[in-house]
Amino acid sequence: MISIAPLSSEPWGTLPGGDPVRLFTLRNAHGMKVSVSDLGATLVSWHAPDRAGRLGDILLGHDTPAQYMAATTYMGGLIGRWANRIADARFTLDGIEYTLDRNEGANLLHGGTHGFHRTVWDVSEDHGALVMRLESPEGDAGFPGNVTVQVRYTLDDDGTLTIAYEGMTDAATPLNLTSHPYFNLTGRRGADIRGHVLSIDADRFFEVDASMIPCELAEVAGNAFDFRQSAPIGARLDWPHAQLARAGGFDHCYVLRGTTEAATAERELQVRQAACAYDPGSGRELTVSTDQRGLQFYTGNSLNGDIGRGSIAYQPHAGLCLEAGGFPNEVNMTEQEQVIVRPGNTYRQTTQYRVGIRSGL
């Protein structure tokens, strides 16, 4: 049962144009607190206890709204209308070709230059939950249809942050949302995630081409991408593998078990555990559960001196992302209809991040 978590808010600076930004904080009965900004519906910080009860911030982030607007790392942002990449920033839907905002070479990445993570959302409270709402107009980044998105954040006393998404449109359009928090379970500024131990419930992943667009499905068995049994991330980063060399680490979408096209056509998927990350030093454990088919595992390869909270310069592998959603470039795949929302239908997604303590070392 979800307990009603206290919710507070406070001013949190302004945007370069002078518009005010606020910070909202959810708390549970055990001292855990998660702060979310109305700028980008962004997960700004998450203070969680280690095995000795000491609170530490397990998210990478910035100190001010202006720094979030200037950054290109999407830290903690709510990503839309399209999470991840669309090849050549174009797709065809119902016989019409649409050209999108090219913001990563020839591709669209994470909703384009002015994606949802750079927009101030409307905010309300509902029985202790934080509810954020955004109107995305026809032509936003080149996408068709006027889209309304709502995201609901709740924090349970067992350390579960539930992110429930909904989206509606007045014209057929692709919609693929995700949250982009960078986790570092050590809670220490300047530490990396090489010592984290990870498991992912997937037998296959998408290999990528030179533009980081999925090119073919591959089996995880027998190579660095096999996290079906828990394995240390640092050791896997050091494995010789052409895909790791291409991305500078992990930046690949895993196909979660039980999510074949035939299975999803028969029924809606239920929320189930997809991944688990553990930091032996602090004892903190992160469990990711979702009803989505894809999970993007990213090891912060593009962090290269980006200035974060407390003037820390984040280096590669300072944080890890586990982003649930559809597949990258799925709008250009044969199963395109899986990511199309049509008038009268509602896009729904639920992803849960649970942070707790694992007993033992």
Looking at the domain assignment, is residue 2 inside a domain? no
Q: Report residue 303 CA to chain centroid gap.
A: 16
The confidence score (pLDDT) of residue 359 equals 76
Looking at the domain assignment, is residue 56 inside a domain? yes
Q: Which residue range is the domain that position 79 belongs to?
A: 8-357
Looking at the domain assignment, is residue 1 inside a domain? no
180 is catalytic: yes
For residues 324 and 254, give the distance between their C-alpha atoms in angstroms, rounded to a whole number: 10
Average pLDDT over residues 212-223: 97
Residue range 181-202, pLDDT digits in tens: 999 999 998 899 999 999 999 9
Which residues are known binding-site members?
A: 84-85, 180-182, 251
Looking at the domain assignment, is residue 147 inside a domain? yes
Contacts 24+ apart (CB under 8 A), 99-103: 99/142, 100/141, 100/142, 100/143, 101/141, 101/142
Per-residue pLDDT band at 259 (split at 50, 70, 90): low
Task: Please say if the pLDDT value at position 6 is more than 90.
Answer: no
Distances (CA, A) of 66 to 62, 164, 192, 277, 282: 9, 27, 25, 31, 32
47, 117, 180, 196: the catalytic one is 180
Per-residue pLDDT band at 21 (split at 50, 70, 90): very high
CB 235 within 8 A of CB 196: no
The confidence score (pLDDT) of residue 260 equals 57
Read off φ and ψ for residue 212, nearest 5 degrees: 70, 25
138 is catalytic: no
Average pLDDT over residues 30-55: 97
The confidence score (pLDDT) of residue 231 equals 98
Distances (CA, A) of 60 to 50, 51, 75, 326: 17, 20, 7, 24
117, 252, 285, 323: the catalytic one is 323
The count of structural domains within the chain is 1
Task: Please say if the pLDDT value at position 135 is more than 60.
Answer: yes
Residue range 283-298, pLDDT digits in tens: 999 999 999 999 999 9
Please report, rounded to a whole number, the percentage of residues in the chain having pLDDT higher than 70.
Answer: 95
| 207's tokens | 């290999």
Which residues are known binding-site members for beta-D-galactose?
A: 84-85, 180-182, 251
Task: Please say if the pLDDT value at position 266 is more than 80.
Answer: no
Looking at the domain assignment, is residue 260 inside a domain? yes
Looking at the domain assignment, is residue 287 inside a domain? yes
Looking at the domain assignment, is residue 263 inside a domain? yes
| 271's tokens | 């929320």
Looking at the domain assignment, is residue 3 inside a domain? no
Lowest mean pLDDT among 56-60, 92-96, 204-208, 265-269: 265-269
Average pLDDT over residues 74-83: 98
CATH code assigned at 310: 2.70.98.10
Closest CA relative to residue 85, chosen from 201, 189, 215, 196: 215
Q: What pTM was computed for the model? A: 0.95
The confidence score (pLDDT) of residue 16 equals 86
